[in-house]
Amino acid sequence: MNHEPSTMNPKGKLVIFSAPSGAGKTTIVKHLLTKFPELEFSVSATTRQPRTDEVNDKAYHFISKEEFLHRIAKKQFVEFEEVYSGTFYGTLRSEIERIWKKGKTVIFDIDVEGGLHLKRKYNGQALAIFVQPPSLEVLKERLIARGADNGEKLKERFVKAEKELNYAPKFDIILKNHDLQTACKEAEVLVRDFLS
């Protein structure tokens, strides 16, 4: 049978990794990207300032708050959130479509509420994994050791993390990150099963 090429967007899959800041999701996602060529990272947009090691359009699409709000008004985001006071993060629809057009599966490293929003929106196409740290105390130690935030910002992250840990049961899978190497291996199995 001969089919006309569809003008509709290809419906691909999404792998969502969510966790409180400092739980290890970014490290796990980076590991998976080295193991699965069929995955491509979804670059989020944010209004926050880049950290010293972050490259625009690689780590994030760094845009102004005005530009972000303009794109919200034009309905260009599939999800967005004011994660911290005055700091927005979001996923551009064009980013997902760009990856699907290449025939790849989108992988996300995203905050908890954003992850749940994507899970609801792409029900049946998404695998949503919550990366759980050993404890809130360990999470606090990791955030302090990272040295990226001042006292006030750290306090804000702790409060948010405590709240986010309660969302774990709403995800498809809870991946315990007591040992990073083990968590990476377990993540590989989960993703391989989902892709096949």
pLDDT of residue 31: 98
Q: Report whether pLDDT(92) > 90.
A: yes
Per residue in 101-123, pLDDT (tens digit) is 999 999 999 989 999 999 999 99
List CB contacts of 177: < 8 A, sequence separation 6 or more.
Answer: 19, 23, 24, 28, 131, 132, 133, 134, 183
User: Can you give the residue ranges of every domain in the chain?
Assistant: 14-195
Per residue in 32-90, pLDDT (tens digit) is 999 999 999 999 999 998 988 888 988 899 999 999 999 999 999 999 998 878 899 99
What percentage of the chain reaches a pLDDT higher than 70? 94
Which residue did the predictor score with more confidence, 153 or 90? 90
Provide φ and ψ at 129, rounded to 5°.
Answer: -115, 130
pLDDT of residue 78: 95
Residue 129 CA to residue 8 CA, distance in Å, equals: 28
Handedness of CA 68, 74, 76, 80 (dihedral sign): positive
Give the residue among 99, 136, 113 at the shortest CA–CA distance from 12: 99
For 14-195, CATH gives 3.40.50.300
